[in-house]
């Protein structure tokens, strides 16, 4: 609770400092989002088993959006090079701390600080050894996967906030940093961040081109990436059935099932039973019967080797399921977004969010939404701040791209104007 409260307070302070940037368009977008979410909430109340949980989820959603709006204002107010250096420093510091924790005996100190911040300890070291071959660092976070997400966003910030400076030197440093992070942090979420960096740098190059065909290529690239990300789960499931091998081992693993297959199957159930407006925010009780079918195989595998007398050995997923916290099973905020809002409701909310990004001055909205979709595969809980952070942070990275548009065209125009001025001077002297 403390990290969220501190982040919310900091964001409020940033909003107060940057209040001059709150334009009329931003206020209109905020009102539209408020109306849309309240309307969806009102439509869900007649069918709600626990209305109070739904109201709490709605309030949490607003708190998450306000928190990330302040973060966006703070980051986008920095100069491109300053922001890039800041995120590089963060990436290096996190990597150093992770290395000290795992290989140089800093873990007891980290666990002690974590117990104060999060009031809990990370006890899945046996799972880390089984799946990743080593104990993963937490770097004061609640779990190791967050370290991978945070480091990945820092890498994106370094490369995308000042994308004009991309070159061979940065390619070498990026390769060394990424290889080190994969070895030390051992989080698959790093690969999602690397994908965002690659796509972002391509989009940046295409948008700078004066060739109209480049814009078409950029749109086609983003559309193809969206389709690939959305269909990746079903494609991997089919590949596992046909080819097996390494792909089959990954797909059949509990981690992949809980992050990809379970949420995907629950989204399919939503599309069959409540396609227009979904199960609603906080609709845990309503989705529980469908979640039993979607997540049943993963939970059965997790409980197969559990000692019934050892409470600490029971997986957190099984505990959440038993306590009715079905939304806690959804470690995939992309699918949870559509499960909560439905196809029609989700499309409305997504359109309002895109409109809000436009009013914030973000031009590459398609890339920002794609980045949020990719990072959404790595975390859940759509009503908490971290689920929305990648979208606002990536939006802040691309905010200043508009000031360096078509440099070749502007350079040639500047040269032509200088030539005209020189010609006029020569004629005047004659």
- Indicate if 239 and 132 belong to the same structural domain: no
- 166-170, 311-315, 392-396: which range is least confident on average? 311-315
pLDDT digits (tens, 9 = 90+) for 111-130: 888 878 776 666 667 777 77
From 164, 187, 210, the end of a domain falls on 187
From 146, 171, 187, the end of a domain falls on 187
- Indicate if 315 and 243 belong to the same structural domain: yes
Compute φ and ψ for 205, nearest 5 degrees: -65, -40
- Indicate if 54 and 111 belong to the same structural domain: no
Q: What is the pLDDT of residue 378?
A: 87
First-to-last alpha carbon distance for the chain, in angstroms, is 78
- Indicate if 160 and 274 belong to the same structural domain: no
Q: What is the pLDDT of residue 106?
A: 87
- Indicate if 58 and 83 belong to the same structural domain: no
Q: What does 288-355 look like in DSSP terms, one character per residue?
A: HHHHHHHHHHHHHHHHHT--TT-GGGS-HHHHHHHTT-GGGG---HHHHHHHHHHHHHHHHHHHHHHH
Residue 208 lies in a domain: no
The count of C-alpha atoms lying within 13 angstroms of the C-alpha of 295, restricted to the half-sphere facing its C-beta, is: 29
Number of domains in the chain: 2
Torsion of CA 129, 149, 190, 132, to 10 degrees: 0
How far apart CA 223 and CA 337 sit, in angstroms, is 19
Tokens read off for 3: 């990290």
Give the residue with greater pLDDT, 242 vs 8.
Answer: 8
Q: What is the pLDDT of residue 124?
A: 67
| Residue 410: band (very low, low, confident or very high) from pLDDT cuts 50, 70, 90 | very low
- 63-72, 97-106, 247-256: which range is least confident on average? 247-256
pLDDT digits (tens, 9 = 90+) for 37-61: 999 999 998 888 888 889 999 999 9
Decide: 257 and 401 in contact? Cβ < 8 Å: no
Decide: 362 and 395 in contact? Cβ < 8 Å: yes
Mean pLDDT within 164-177: 92
Which range scores top for mean pLDDT: 131-140, 160-169, 232-241? Answer: 160-169
Decide: 412 and 423 in contact? Cβ < 8 Å: no
**Structural domain for 303, as ranges:** 2-76+218-401
Residue 175 lies in a domain: yes
- Indicate if 290 and 235 belong to the same structural domain: yes
Whether the pLDDT of residue 327 is over 80: the answer is no
- 25-39, 92-106, 248-262, 279-293: which range is least confident on average? 248-262
Q: What does 25-90 look like in DSSP terms, one character per residue?
A: HHHHHHHHHHHHHHHHHHHHGGG-S-HHHHHHHHHHHHHHHHHHHHHHHHHHTS-HHHHHHHHHHH
| Residue 405: band (very low, low, confident or very high) from pLDDT cuts 50, 70, 90 | very low
Residue 333 lies in a domain: yes
């Amino acid at each position: 609770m403390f990290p969220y409260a501190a982040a919310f307070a900091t964001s409020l302070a940033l909003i107060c400092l940057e209040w001059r940037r709150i334009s009329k368009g931003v206020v209109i977008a905020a009102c539209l989002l408020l109306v849309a979410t309240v309307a969806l909430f009102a439509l869900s109340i007649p069918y709600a088993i626990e209305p109070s949980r739904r109201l709490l989820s709605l309030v949490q959603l607003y708190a998450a959006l306000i928190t990330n709006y302040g973060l966006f204002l703070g980051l986008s107010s920095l100069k491109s090079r300053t922001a890039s250096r800041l995120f590089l420093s963060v990436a290096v510091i996190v990597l150093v701390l992770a290395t000290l924790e795992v290989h140089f005996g800093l873990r007891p100190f980290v666990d002690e600080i974590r117990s104060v911040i999060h009031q809990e300890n990370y006890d899945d070291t046996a799972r880390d050894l089984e799946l990743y071959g080593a104990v993963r660092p937490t770097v004061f976070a609640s779990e190791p996967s967050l370290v991978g997400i945070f480091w990945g966003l820092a890498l994106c910030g370094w490369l995308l906030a000042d994308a004009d400076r991309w070159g061979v030197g940065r390619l070498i440093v990026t390769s060394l940093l990424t290889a080190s992070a994969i070895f030390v942090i051992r989080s698959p979420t790093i690969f999602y961040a690397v994908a965002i960096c690659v796509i972002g740098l391509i989009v940046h190059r295409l948008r700078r081109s004066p060739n109209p065909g480049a814009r078409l290529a950029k749109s086609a690239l983003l559309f193809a990436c969206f389709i690939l990300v959305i269909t990746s789960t079903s494609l991997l499931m089919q590949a596992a059935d046909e080819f097996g091998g390494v792909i089959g081992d990954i797909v059949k693993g509990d981690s992949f099932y809980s992050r990809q297959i379970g949420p995907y199957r629950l989204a399919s159930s939503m599309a069959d039973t409540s396609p227009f407006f979904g199960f609603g925010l906080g609709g845990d009780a309503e989705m529980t019967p469908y979640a039993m079918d979607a997540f049943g195989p993963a939970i059965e595998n997790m409980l197969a080797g559990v000692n019934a007398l050892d409470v600490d050995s029971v997986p957190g997923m099984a505990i959440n399921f038993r306590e009715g916290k079905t939304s806690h099973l959804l470690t995939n905020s992309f699918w949870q977004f559509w499960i909560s809002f439905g196809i029609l409701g989700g499309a409305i909310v997504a359109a309002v969010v895109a409109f809000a990004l436009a009013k914030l001055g973000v031009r590459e909205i398609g890339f920002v939404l794609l980045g949020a979709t990719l990072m959404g595969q790595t975390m859940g809980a759509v009503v908490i701040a971290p689920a929305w952070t990648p979208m606002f942070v990536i939006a802040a990275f691309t905010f200043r791209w508009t000031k360096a548009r078509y440099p070749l065209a502007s350079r040639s125009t500047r040269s032509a104007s200088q030539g005209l001025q020189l010609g006029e001077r020569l004629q005047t002297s004659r």
